[in-house]
């Protein structure tokens, strides 16, 4: 297929700096593949042996293999597709068998897609929820202190984000997971990789991360409607969803084999076609080049903002792991007012609490309504950064 170049936007003047919400634009091949799906082979995978159903099944399995290769899954059958990272996190968290008084640990940087199901477990099952401590000046996790906490109250489940969607901090996921397993080998470790999957690989074959959740429409540069989790160990969550799978139809029980056990309902093959194209595109790219480009733009933005006396930037120090998200506030203005003013000039950012209230409580930005978040992507330029900072300069 001929590569289709991505458009800036429907409005040619828009500056899109909200890639933490969803990457935009997508690679041109993604648009082409998604469009071709409904025009040429939009069948229902696993529902019959007709050619269209067969083509869709082949596409799903190819995409499953590409996800496994990109994210380091032990096998492609351990890749479970879901309609969103939120659904995948609910499956992993609510599918974990926990007794009353079990201890669940989370970082301060978790998204509500983690915090809300955990809160449901606290209220419905009586589990205890503990926040993993991070040092406020260095944004670091004292692993020795954490190990001691785990020995006093051994974890039954640990949820840790791969990257904060507020400040971009990347916690030491593997180290936290290893300490959790040392304290309790039966602990379930769940990693929310929605912000960084595909660009910052983790060692999922080490047997210490039980479930890794990915989102297709963010760092993988695919469309909405396709995400999932990788069951990276022998641990299996209890079922949360039930329904038809196109297999074992003679039984009213769910199939026992992966991935069918967890994939009830018709697949969103249109979105999978887009994800397949995005992964093929990503295979041809140097991940470090993408990381460097977005990080360089983010650091240029930080350097520009640092020249304004009324702007406060919230980000980890330079020696910390960070994924290029920039949150800031402007003295005398609410984040929402800044976002609206930027939007009127066709500059897209995101303001507010970003569905991560504990992160803003930790940063001290909760009471002011959160922060303004700017998140460059691969298709941004330094001119985009200057468009944002020029506006901040005008309102000084």
Along the 396 residues of the chain, how does pLDDT read in single tens digits? 444 455 555 456 899 999 999 999 999 999 999 999 999 888 888 888 899 988 999 999 999 999 999 999 999 999 999 999 999 999 999 999 999 999 999 999 999 999 999 999 999 999 999 999 999 999 999 999 999 999 999 999 999 999 999 999 999 999 999 999 999 999 999 999 999 999 998 989 889 999 999 999 999 999 999 999 999 999 999 999 999 988 888 999 999 999 999 999 999 999 999 999 999 999 999 999 999 999 999 999 999 999 999 999 999 998 899 999 999 999 999 999 999 999 999 999 999 999 999 999 999 999 999 999 999 999 999 999 999 999 999 877
Domains and CATH numbers, the chain: 15-26+285-395 (3.90.1150.10), 35-283 (3.40.640.10)
- Please compute, for residue 163, the number of CA atoms within 13 A of its CA located in the half-sphere on the CB side: 27
User: What does the angle CA 323 – CA 297 – CA 346 come to, to the nearest 5 degrees?
Assistant: 105
Burial category of 141 from C-beta neighbours within 10 Å (exposed 0-12, middle 13-18, buried 19 and up): buried
3-class SS of residue 371: strand
**In the beta sheet, which residues pair with residue 160?**
191
Look up the pTM and report it. 0.95
Cβ neighbours of residue 290 under 8 Å, at least 6 residues apart?
A: 199, 378
| Nearest alpha carbon to residue 77 among 230, 305, 296 | 230
Backbone phi, psi, residue 108, to 5°: -70, -10
- 157 touches 188 (CB < 8 A): yes
Per-residue pLDDT, 203: 85
Determine which helix (DSSP H) or strand (DSSP E) holds 161, and give its type and residue range: strand 157-161
Q: CB atoms < 10 A from the CB of 212, how many?
A: 27
């Amino acid at each position: 297929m001929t590569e289709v170049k991505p458009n800036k936007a429907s409005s040619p003047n828009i500056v899109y700096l909200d890639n933490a919400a969803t990457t935009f634009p997508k690679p041109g091949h993604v648009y082409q593949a998604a469009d071709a799906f409904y025009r040429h082979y939009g069948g229902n995978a696993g529902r019959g042996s007709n050619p269209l159903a067969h083509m869709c099944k082949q596409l799903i399995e190819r995409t499953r293999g590409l996800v496994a290769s990109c994210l380091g899954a032990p096998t492609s059958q351990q890749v479970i597709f879901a309609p969103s990272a939120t659904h995948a996190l609910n499956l992993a968290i609510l599918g974990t068998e926990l007794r009353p008084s079990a201890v669940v640990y989370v970082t301060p940087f978790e998204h509500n897609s983690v915090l809300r199901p955990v809160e449901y477990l606290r209220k419905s099952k009586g589990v205890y929820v503990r926040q993993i401590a991070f040092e406020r000046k260095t944004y670091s996790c004292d692993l020795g202190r954490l190990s001691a906490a785990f020995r006093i109250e051994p974890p039954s489940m640990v949820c840790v984000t791969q990257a904060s969607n507020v400040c971009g901090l990347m916690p030491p996921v593997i180290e936290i997971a290893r300490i959790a397993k040392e304290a309790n080998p039966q602990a379930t470790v769940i990693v929310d990789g929605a912000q960084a999957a595909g660009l910052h690989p983790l060692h999922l074959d080490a047997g210490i991360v039980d479930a890794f959740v990915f989102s297709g429409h963010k760092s993988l540069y695919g469309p909405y409607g396709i995400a999932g989790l990788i069951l990276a160990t022998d641990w299996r969550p209890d079922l949360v969803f039930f329904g038809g799978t196109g297999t074992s139809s003679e039984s009213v029980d769910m199939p026992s084999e992966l991935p069918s056990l967890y994939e009830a309902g018709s697949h969103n093959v249109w979105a999978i076609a887009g994800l397949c194209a995005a992964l093929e595109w990503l295979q041809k790219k140097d991940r470090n080049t993408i990381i460097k480009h977005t990080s360089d733009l983010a650091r240029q933005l930080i350097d520009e903002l640092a020249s304004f006396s009324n702007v406060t930037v919230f980000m980890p120090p330079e020696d910390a792991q960070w994924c290029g998200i920039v949150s800031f506030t402007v003295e005398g203005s609410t984040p929402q007012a800044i976002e609206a003013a930027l939007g009127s000039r066709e500059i897209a950012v995101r303001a507010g609490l970003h569905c991560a209230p504990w992160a803003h409580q930790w940063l001290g930005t909760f009471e002011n309504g959160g922060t303004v978040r700017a998140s460059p992507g691969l298709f941004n330029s330094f001119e985009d950064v200057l468009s944002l900072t020029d506006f901040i300069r005008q309102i000084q």
